[in-house]
């Protein structure tokens, strides 16, 4: 357990670092001097002395402090990293690499150590090793993290090195795979191609993240093959009549629609413009398992076309069939669905240019009258950048990879949750 004096030194060093980051150099220097006076031989104090000498351009003076500090206590990663910097500035690159190796043995995921190691490889012309090390460092940065301004040039350089290496690797692999592609030209290679794009960091990996029920060991597929759903042929064949019925509904004006999102409490910030707004309006035929008879009566041809629809039966949740209307210049933020034992079908009806839809790493444009099926528990988003309205018929089905027994069990589970709470939780 650290002593009181040890804790005091750590607090002073941390305070100095924070003060420097806030642009308060006088306060930082004052705390460093207090730490130095209290424990002049403490490893963290010696490290700070060494860092100050490095900033002043005195690498030899820094080395004089850091070498004995490391020998006295080789368990401090920060000391090894500062020592490596001093050795680098003095052109002693073999010793620099040894110091970096010691730092990474103590803490293999230390970002500063990885970045400095990658830069050392890059300086030696070992571009492939440098890129692999840079990649490891970049993968440790959480998505959306706010990085210090001084780190951005370093990370930009790292990303540029990784990108250049990926381009060289892609060219090399294209040549390696050329003969095999010719041999298998008649075979479907889309799945392998996505694997290759992921490896080359041209495609992110997205996995199902349902907010309610997750059924493991189901395939993680963004867009399913249209040929696997032949019953969609009849619905597509009726697209013109379905569109005509929707246009008749829309002729009543915005009041014919209800907001898709209608929460009493303010939702998360990205969703607030859509809350209680008809900019994303809907006209339900079936809503959370309940047939909306008045709306069904207005769309008899649509209902007839949906007679072949293999409905997903989930009490209080499905089936759902709805016309989804997105106003001009409106975007639906990235989100995930509730249950990967079901899939979502879209039949595009009115699609002006400038509309798009992303599921995971794959983006598609809607094509009027051409249906597709996707897993909505994989992150997805939609947008209408045009000056006109976009309209899609949406309905849900069972995931074809679930068994009848699994479907009945998921349905009973959903019903049980509703019974337990009195109603389904709001996230459904």
What pLDDT digit, counting tens, does each position of 330-389 carry?
999 999 999 999 999 999 999 999 999 999 999 999 999 999 999 999 999 999 999 999
Residue 423's pLDDT is 62
Place of tokens 């035929």: 285
Domain residue ranges in the chain: 4-163, 226-421
pLDDT value, residue 47 = 79
Residue 148 CB contacts under 8 Å (≥ 6 apart), including other chains: 21
Query: Which pair of structure tokens corresponds to residue 55?
Result: 């900033």
**Residue 170: C-alpha distances to residues 131, 133, 145, 183, 195 (Å):** 14, 18, 29, 20, 13
| SS3 label, residue 352 | coil
Task: Name the 3-class secondary structure at 312.
Answer: coil
Is the backbone peptide bond immediately before 319 cis, with ω within 30 degrees of 0? yes
CA distance readout (Å), 229 to 57, 187, 233, 338, 373: 69, 21, 8, 22, 8
27 DSSP assignment: H
Query: Which pLDDT value is given to residue 21?
Result: 67
**Highest CATH level, class, for 4-163:** mainly alpha
Tokens 């309006």 sit on residue:
281
Instruction: For residue 280, give every residue at least 6 positions away whose Cβ sits within 8 Å of its Cβ, in sequence order, or none.
Output: 259, 260, 261, 274, 324, 325, 326, 327, 330, 332
Number of Cα atoms under 13 Å in the Cβ half of residue 360: 22
Instruction: Write out residues in the chain with pLDDT < 70, as ranges.
Output: 1-6, 17, 20-21, 421-428
Could you confirm whether domain 226-421 is CATH 3.40.50.10540? no
Can you tell me the distance from the alpha carbon of 303 to that of 285, in angstroms, rounded to the nearest whole number? 8
Residue 14: the pLDDT is 75
CA distance linking residue 137 with residue 104, whole number of Å? 12
First-to-final CA distance of the chain: 48
* Closest by CA position to 249, among listed 372, 387, 365, 349: 349
377 burial type by CB count under 10 A (0-12 exposed, 13-18 middle, 19+ buried): buried
| Strand 321-326 with 390-398, pairing | antiparallel
């Amino acid at each position: 357990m650290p002593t009181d004096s040890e804790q005091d030194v750590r607090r002073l060093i941390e305070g100095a670092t924070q003060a420097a980051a806030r642009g308060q150099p006088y306060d930082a220097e004052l705390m460093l001097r207090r730490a130095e006076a209290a424990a002049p031989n403490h490893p963290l104090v010696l490290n700070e002395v060494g860092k100050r000498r490095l900033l002043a351009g005195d690498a030899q003076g820094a080395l004089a402090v850091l070498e004995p500090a490391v020998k006295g206590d080789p368990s401090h990663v920060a000391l090894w990293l500062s020592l490596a910097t001093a050795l680098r500035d003095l052109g002693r690159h073999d010793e620099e690499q040894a110091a970096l190796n010691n730092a990474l043995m103590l803490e293999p995921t230390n970002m500063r150590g990885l970045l400095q190691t990658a830069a050392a490889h890059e300086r030696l012309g070992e571009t492939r090793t440098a890129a692999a090390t840079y990649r490891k460092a970049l993968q440790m940065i959480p998505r959306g993290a706010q990085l210090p301004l001084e780190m951005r040039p370093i990370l930009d350089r790292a990303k540029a090195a990784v990108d250049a290496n990926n381009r060289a690797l892609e060219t090399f692999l294209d040549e390696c795979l050329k003969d095999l592609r010719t041999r298998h030209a008649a075979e479907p290679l889309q799945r392998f191609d996505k694997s290759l794009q992921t490896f080359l960091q041209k495609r992110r990996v997205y996995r199902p993240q349902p907010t309610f029920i997750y059924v493991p060991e189901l395939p993680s597929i963004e867009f399913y093959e249209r040929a696997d759903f032949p019953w969609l042929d009849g619905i597509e064949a009726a697209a013109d009549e379905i569109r005509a019925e929707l246009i008749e509904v829309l002729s009543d004006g915005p009041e014919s629609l209800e907001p898709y999102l209608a929460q009493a409490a303010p939702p998360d910030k990205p969703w607030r413009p859509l809350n209680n707004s008809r900019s994303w309006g809907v006209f339900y035929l079936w809503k959370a398992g309940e047939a909306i008879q008045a709306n069904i009566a207005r769309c008899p041809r649509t209902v007839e076309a949906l007679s072949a629809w293999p409905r997903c039966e989930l009490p209080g949740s499905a089936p759902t069939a709805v016309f989804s209307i997105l106003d001009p210049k409106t975007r639906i933020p990235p989100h995930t669905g509730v249950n990967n034992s079901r899939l979502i079908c879209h039949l595009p009806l009115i699609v002006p240019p400038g509309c798009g839809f992303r599921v995971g790493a794959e983006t598609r444009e809607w094509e009027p009258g051409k249906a597709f099926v996707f897993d909505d528990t994989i992150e997805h988003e939609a947008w209408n950048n045009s000056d006109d309205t976009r309209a899609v018929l949406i309905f849900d089905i069972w995931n074809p990879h679930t068994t009848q027994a699994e479907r009945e069990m998921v349905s009973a589970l959903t019903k049980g949750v509703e019974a337990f709470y009195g109603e389904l939780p709001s996230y459904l």
